[in-house]
Structure 1
């Protein structure tokens, strides 16, 4: 995932929070904001309440890999902010992928199969 596909600035996060729509399940909260960019961008937020640095970084790696695998199926012109909840720390990669796909289908960012 290249740098042009990441949301890093606080102002960009706040824009997605204020103008975007949120969808959630027990493990993840996803904010989606349609934009006019040619490719999607993602921003990740994992609180210190979720676990230590190793756990938080593992969750972020999982989310990035999931977005790489789902990249061609996602809406291309949207910004996504993913917030991991505490239950996400107990999931392995495949469970995380299933959970995140579920939330993205609710958000209508992924087509239903």
Structure 2
């Protein structure tokens, strides 16, 4: 996935957290806001309580892969941040994908028919 899809500046990230709408479950929270650009932008936030650097990086890689799979279906008029909770550390990939998919549908960032 191209870097233009990622939220890079602290100002953009703060804007999402300030004007946020959110959906969540016990493992993840997605904060999102509408905006006007030709494509969506996203970030992944994961705290140190999740585990060591290897575990955090693996979780971020998995989430980036899931988002890239849905990139054609995600509504381009949104910015969103996926916050990873420490409880998700022990989830296998299939359950991570299922949880993220449900949250994206709940937030109306993707359509229900877009599930892979």
Please state which band the TM-score falls in when normalised by the shorter chain: over 0.9
Number of residue-to-residue matches in the alignment: 113
Counterpart CA distance in 2 for 1:29 and 1:68 is: 18
Match of 1:85 in 2: 85
Aligned to 1:110: 110
SS of equivalent to 1:49: helix
TM-score by length of 2: 0.92
5 Å-filtered alignment, 1:1-113, equals 1-113=1-113
Q: Which runs of 4+ in 1 moved over 6 A?
A: none
CA shift for structure 1 position 9? 1.5
1:28 and 1:100 in contact (8 A); partners too: yes
Deviation at 1:69, TM superposition (A): 0.5
* Local SS of the residue matching 2:108: coil
The Cα of 1:20 is off from its aligned counterpart by 2.2
CA offsets 1:54-99 (integer angstroms, 9 cap, x no match): 1100110011000110111111121110100012211122111100
DSSP 3-state at the match of 1:36? coil
How large is the RMSD of aligned CA atoms in angstroms? 1.0
**What 5-or-longer segments of structure 2 have no aligned partner?**
none
**Matches of 2:4 and 2:73 in 1, distance apart?**
18
